[in-house]
A and B are shown apart, each in its own frame.
Chain A
């Protein structure tokens, strides 16, 4: 029963209390599930946090992940819709020796811009779909980025 591995973005709403992150992360670790990225922040005006988890697995594994998450007592609901908008933020630091306008143009193509420049380096921010972020990171290789910080995926149902 070899099945296709798929990528899935899941949103988990859980009570914002001590240890919830450990419960969720522990569940993934203990049962051998993957976490590719995870972002967490409180849901405004509520007692809940929203965990956006990017994971991989076959259909059965993804189903189990969702059920096991739902089984955690502090978890209110798990959203696994595929009709979602996804965004990821990435910060990149280049050497100031690079051609600034090249980098600026490139960032703009990927919904970004240069945020900060000093005598040593240029920092750019880009916010785009995760697959486009991956492309962006491939393309900027030739500018030898000094540091890259990816923010993890956030998502919202349409």
Chain B
């Protein structure tokens, strides 16, 4: 059938099974918006900022397992979208971004709202395309979706000049892609898997280290099976929270800068690190010179470039984590003696008991950790949890009882303040039967506060729990520890009335100072099924602990007992 480029965009999205897109119109993308108007297969959500469009698509992708789609215009629309794109890139989230561009004859002339989208997004997209001929459009879109979701997933940009979206051609959506230069390895080399199995049988203190790649690969069941079979203890990254399950006795919890004592000690003492879809980020490893210094390292990852990027690896295995872990289980099952790691586990349980995650609860002032624990205890089965960036994010990561990785969204690699709310919108759309909660800070929430309006307008209720310390808390904490308490530009005492803001955007607001008020506000917000802000006054100078200072070794933690100084009270 003969049709315009913009109609081809719509038909291609339908062919990809897309039923929702997040976008914001403008001159260069208007042809596509005109076609969106004429159809009703695809729902369009109008976020109020292009950054939010891409983050909502990101949240949707994380929770649904599908490719998220964002549609933006050229120039400022595109530059606004960039932070969202970079966020998806750092966390390997499959998102396709369709952007308008000035007409092809104007490209390169500094035309109105022209920006070199391909150029500025090259370092933060998995791949990008400028469409120069309408006859290539369907094929490019097919390739974009394929590249976004396969291998190590990531954002892919398709930049469409305005004249191309009005040109006509015959529409044919290809069934397959033909990319001779792009062939991700799925199946791991079985010889390597056998070597790893042998290393496991020779190790005394092996440790499984799970990262976001395991989430993207959907390997939760396989990894839990591997633990069950081998009784090898395990740690999780921020990205991978939920893979092990909070009540798994073999889980030592999250490792890294704000990880548990037991997780970081396990990592310091292990003799075989089995990394599954993790990438040895500096927030996880601490000082690389001392990291895993007694350990051999096995690294399972779909991205060969991730392997041996930061640490020397003894057992590299390139492949899809889910497939490789299943192969490893099959090999191990042939001959595995359980109970081998009994004393190693004992040792770690001792660490766990010695220094569990702790905080001092109070009846005078709400403690953020209590708020998180309560969310988990009372509503944990029903919540899909998103966060912004800062202390509240770390408290959520530490104190929430994670059941499954698909119920958890946090900007981990880029650490984007403003991620929480738009991501929660995307998550809610993907799982309407869940209570979508965004745990935020009084700093972060303002970075995409307008999305209260989006959520209200479309009936996508998100409950925003602001852990309000009237500080840019995480930065304040660093200033306390490392800058002699010079609180440069972190005091947020000039406060917003978040209740009024919520109401002004069509939601409900609650101001909360006590435990009971918090529980009541949550219950009411859930019952009303509306977008809400629960503004929780918390202890202003609560710190996130333990903490491995940047650049220190994992076993050099500042512990709760070290800093429990009365002067802040």
- Chain A residues packing against B (C-beta within 8 Å): 1, 14-15, 18-19, 22-23, 26, 30, 60, 63-64, 67-68, 70-71, 73-76
Contact = CB atoms under 8 A, between A and B. Distances in A.
A30 B118 contact: no
Nearest to A27: B123
B314 interface: no
B255 interface: no
B150 to A, nearest CB: 11
A73 B147 contact: yes
Given A22-B122, A26-B122, A67-B304, A75 B130 contact: no
Given A73-B182, A75-B181, A19 B118 contact: yes
Given A64-B305, A64-B309, A67-B305, A73 B179 contact: yes
B305 A74 contact: no
A22 B179 contact: no
B305 A68 contact: yes
B305 A71 contact: yes
Interface in B97-147: 118-119, 122-123, 126-127, 130, 132, 147
Given A67-B304, A67-B309, 11 more contacts: A18-B130, A23-B122, A26-B123, A63-B308, A64-B305, A71-B303, A73-B127, A73-B147, A73-B182, A74-B181, A76-B180
Nearest to B152: A71
A41 B132 CA distance: 23
A15 B180 CA distance: 10
B224 to A, nearest CB: 30
Interface string B168-192: 0000000000011110000000000
A70 B289 CA distance: 28
A67 B310 CA distance: 13
Contact of B181 (A1, A63, A73): A73
Contacts of B123: 26, 30
Interface residues of B, number: 19
Contacts of A76: 180-181
Interface string B307-334: 0110000000000000000000000000
Interface of B: 118-119, 122-123, 126-127, 130, 132, 147, 179-182, 289, 303-305, 308-309
A68 B123 CA distance: 12
Contacts of A73: 126-127, 147, 179, 181-182
B105 to A, nearest CB: 16
B72 to A, nearest CB: 20
B40 to A, nearest CB: 34
Contacts of A74: 181
A15 B127 CA distance: 14
B238 to A, nearest CB: 24
A67 B185 CA distance: 14
B146 to A, nearest CB: 11
A1 B310 CA distance: 12
Q: Which 3 A-B pairs have the closest CB atoms?
A: A67-B305, A73-B127, A76-B181
Contacts of B126: 73
B551 to A, nearest CB: 16
A82 B289 CA distance: 30
Contacts of A1: 289
B305 A70 contact: yes
Contacts of A71: 303-305
Contacts of A26: 122-123
Nearest to A29: B123
A122 B88 CA distance: 58
Contacts of A70: 304-305
Contacts of A18: 130, 132
Nearest to A47: B180
Nearest to B179: A73
A22 B130 CA distance: 14
B181 A15 contact: yes
Contact of B308 (A14, A15, A23, A60): A60
B376 to A, nearest CB: 38
24 contacts: A1-B289, A14-B181, A15-B181, A18-B130, A19-B118, A19-B122, A19-B130, A22-B119, A26-B122, A63-B308, A64-B309, A67-B304, A67-B305, A67-B309, A70-B304, A70-B305, A71-B303, A73-B127, A73-B179, A73-B181, A73-B182, A74-B181, A76-B180, A76-B181
A30 B124 CA distance: 11
A100 to B, nearest CB: 48
B71 to A, nearest CB: 22
Contacts of A15: 181
B327 to A, nearest CB: 23
A157 B455 CA distance: 60
Contacts of A60: 308
Nearest to A77: B181
Nearest to B147: A73
